[in-house]
Amino acid sequence: MDSPQGLKRWWRERPVRVQGRRDQGKLPSAGLAPVEVGDQRPGPPRGPAGEGRGGGRVGADRRSVDGAYDRVRAELGPVEILVTSAGIEAFTALLDITPETWDRIIAVNLTGTFTCVQAAVPDMVAAGWGRIVTIASSSAQSGAPNMAHYAASKGGVIALTKALAVELARRSITVNAIAPSLVDTPMARQAEADGDFPGVDVVGPMVPLGRAGTPGDIAAACSFLCSDGGSYITGQVVGVNGGMYI
């Protein structure tokens, strides 16, 4: 893909399914190809304190996923590229995490990823080609206080990514994870407003590159991993983190 026109043709031929929050940004190719978004809107926590910040169980309900995929296939064709970015977070001390909170974090972040991947892979197998990018977190690599449930869910995403990469490699399907650190999103700003961490503008200058990440940073990495340039990369965790975790 040496030219913009070549990139434009490539994306038009590859329907994309992006499962997740709108705050993760748009792939740089948006506008050049159809993109279907299963929305996970950030917002204040629901239910008991610390239950989790975000929307409902996006991706965890197989019937909802199958219905969404049916619409994508009817309008755009088979799903050959999948980015799973739905996620919720919560800041809760270990001894205050309830079984319900634990289950909800795992359901959205880990089970939702698995469900969306499992539903898309048959299209990729049939095509003999596919790209899957999951969104993990640097907290799964370094740990984070008051986020045992969140870090565990994202650690599961990393393990799932590696297992799928090994299983699907012979079918020319690559599977990689992106592990962001601090990214300036509405969910991060909500955590700041809730007093769960010092703030994007406070922590951003502490990042080795001197700023918080942007949704565009994450989208650019996704775009590369889904392109022909990323065809020999699979089973990897790409840290888009400004040097916060090395």
In a domain, 150, yes or no: yes
Number of domains in the chain: 1
User: pTM for this one?
Assistant: 0.83
Q: What pLDDT sits at residue 64?
A: 92
Which of the residues are catalytic? 150
In a domain, 39, yes or no: yes
In a domain, 243, yes or no: no
- Which CATH number characterizes residue 33's domain? 3.40.50.720
Q: What pLDDT sits at residue 53?
A: 53
Are 124 and 73 in contact by the 8 Å Cβ rule? The answer is no
In a domain, 244, yes or no: no
Q: Would you tell me how many other CB atoms lie within 10 Å of the CB of residue 82?
A: 26
16: CB partners within 8 A, 6+ apart: 27, 33, 34, 35, 36, 79, 81, 82, 83, 226
Q: Cα–Cα distance between 84 and 114 in angstroms, integer?
A: 9
In a domain, 43, yes or no: yes
In a domain, 246, yes or no: no
Domain range for 118: 4-238
Q: Cα–Cα distance between 73 and 242 in angstroms, integer?
A: 37
Q: What pLDDT sits at residue 86?
A: 84
Q: What pLDDT sits at residue 11?
A: 43
Strand ranges in 99-227 using DSSP code E only, listed in sequence order: 130-135, 173-178
Q: Which residues of the chain have pLDDT under 50?
A: 1-13, 15, 20-25, 28-37, 39-51, 55-56
Q: What pLDDT sits at residue 17?
A: 53
In a domain, 58, yes or no: yes
In a domain, 71, yes or no: yes
129: CB partners within 8 A, 6+ apart: 80, 172, 173
